[in-house]
Structure 1
């Protein structure tokens, strides 16, 4: 199974590296947008898939990163790389605050707290005088990355985005496969037992909230730089719903399953745009079909099938005729 995953990962990475050289087949701006949602979905899955925490307000972190980066780069002339870093840090700080409040409850009550806090953030960006209200922050300059890479060049911007997204995904992979990640899964499976073993569960929850929010903020910051726009749609509750959909579609019990879901949803939204309002209906039908066919998500179901094929047969029973030659009643 690992060999197949390695092969598929290598093919996918090679295809991503070649995107700028295939303008007739795929639009690099679209791929960059999809990559931002890949990081966003995988970061969100640190909470849902690996800790068992459902957040209905993750768009607050995504949009906060976008607005903070846009404001710093446009109004204060901060270098783009520092603006992206600041967007992630402010989103992480917001995640720590919201997480500390939300984990006081569990289940649907926790989810409702995150939704309420997200709406507060939404109305703040709607009413604040420096955010542009419904028009958003427009004409955000892309600037120069690390003082040498001109991001006004789409090809240069693409590879910078790809590198940052790759680094973010590596952080997620490392987090999941660390002792910290094992504790998160223990909390997901049986929180009282994790408490009885002496783990500070509340502290772990706030920490994973912070990590997830920070990475989501970086994804939003990159999207603002790519489109030179930070809009209210980035912080709207609908975006929180989209990331949940991506995670469930790709497979929340996997590390990179949400990346597959993000790619599918982004592709549907891009290529079905001419259908207008029917995009939502078509996306819903695709989602229901995939959930019925792939109950563990697309990648989760594939991994399960590979595991079943790679497991050796446990049936070692040999059915042979008994030897009755020395039996008193033998023929």
Structure 2
């Protein structure tokens, strides 16, 4: 007669359960972040918050090119400042509504990105960066001489108008929530872009371009697509900024602006979705609060950058992703 025995064991937590817990934790963090952003204008100066969000979107757009495609551009101020000029001119001189003015800025930035990218992607590395810098300086001198930009005076007293004809954007709270909505939409577009098949190919180009070519992908076409998308999103940030501050000036198209967005991205973490947001918040906050103290803002910002490079080489968010807590939450850093 056969005897059967049953052994009772305590099941170990499955990988699926751990993954589910991490997903819940990330969802909770996102929800907390959204709630804080919604409530922030009741506790902090709305214009200061809008400035952070505009530069955060600008940095996220730049990170799409650098972090996920591996292309370092020294000319992204062209799209940010160019869109600011296009939006300001369309709203003030042509009487466009705010949404149409922003759309004009985005389309203008996309066209500039197409033109600049067409020439720049033909080279790699430092040569790519230098071409973008040279073309950006050409656009700067165009803005200095063009009649519609008003030279060094810039386009001033830009009316915010009424969104969709009935939302008065002259009210700071209404303007803030428009900027917040634009920022969230831009972030969602970037997230969808980098998690699409197109985005996977861009990452493969970043990791090994020769292998991507051997697999039959048209690398130049994918690079150009990423360049134009990055330019359009940078233009979205610049167009909104021109409505927030109600002016567009040469400051937005200088090479220093291109350098500033590189700094924001490096501080926050290259190749992370929210890293540029953290970097932009840090740089804008330092500039805002040190401007009235007499301390040299650029020196303090440089010191902060040196500390981050020496101690947080992955950037602030990148180091968090690579930490034990970040890994438990399911974050990955592959730079």
TM-score normalised per structure 1: 0.90
Partner of 2:256 in structure 1?
238
- Counterpart position of 2:89: 71
The answer as to 2:174 corresponding to 1:156 is yes
CA RMSD of aligned residues (A): 1.3
| Matched-pair contact (CA < 8 Å) for 1:62–1:91 | yes
1:11 corresponding residue in structure 2:
32
1:114 aligned to 2:132? yes
Query: Equivalent of 2:193, from 175, 179, 195?
Result: 175
**C-alpha separation in 1, matches of 2:264 and 2:309:** 12
Structure 1 pair 117–296 and aligned structure 2 pair: CA distance change class (3 A): same
Q: Which runs of 5 or more structure 2 residues have no equivalent in the other structure?
A: 1-21, 331-335
**CA, structure 1 residues 272+6, in 2 after alignment: closer, same or farther (shift >3 Å)?**
farther
Within 2, Cα distance between the matches of 1:218 and 1:309? 35
Q: 1:135 aligns with which of 133, 153, 159?
A: 153
The structure whose Rg is larger is 1
Contact 1:253 1:296 in 2 (8 A): no
Equivalent residue number for residue 55 of structure 2: 37
Tell me the equivalent position of 1:201.
219
CA distance in 2: counterparts of 1:295 and 1:138, whole angstroms: 40
Contact 2:291 2:297 in 1 (8 A): yes
Q: Report what 1:28 is aligned to.
A: 46
Q: Is the 8 A contact 2:84 2:241 kept in 1?
A: yes
- Write the distance in 2 (CA, Å) between the matches of 1:279 and 1:5: 35
CA distance in 1, matches of 2:132, 2:37: 34
Matched, 1:260 2:281: no
For residues 153 and 297 of structure 1, do their structure 2 counterparts lie closer, same or farther at Cα, with a shift above 3 Å needed?
same
Aligned residues: 308
> Structure 2 length as normaliser, TM-score?
0.89
Of 119, 122, 140, which residue of structure 2 is paired with 1:104? 122
Question: Taking structure 1 as reference, are residues 179 and 85 closer, same or farther at Cα in structure 2, changes over 3 Å only?
Answer: same
Could you tell me which of 65, 68, 71 is aligned with 1:50?
A: 68
CA distance in 1, matches of 2:177, 2:273: 23
Listed as ranges, the gaps of 5+ residues in structure 1 are 312-331
The reply on whether 1:229 has 2:247 as its aligned counterpart is yes
CA distance in 2, matches of 1:33, 1:276: 22
Residue of structure 2 equivalent to 1:249: 267
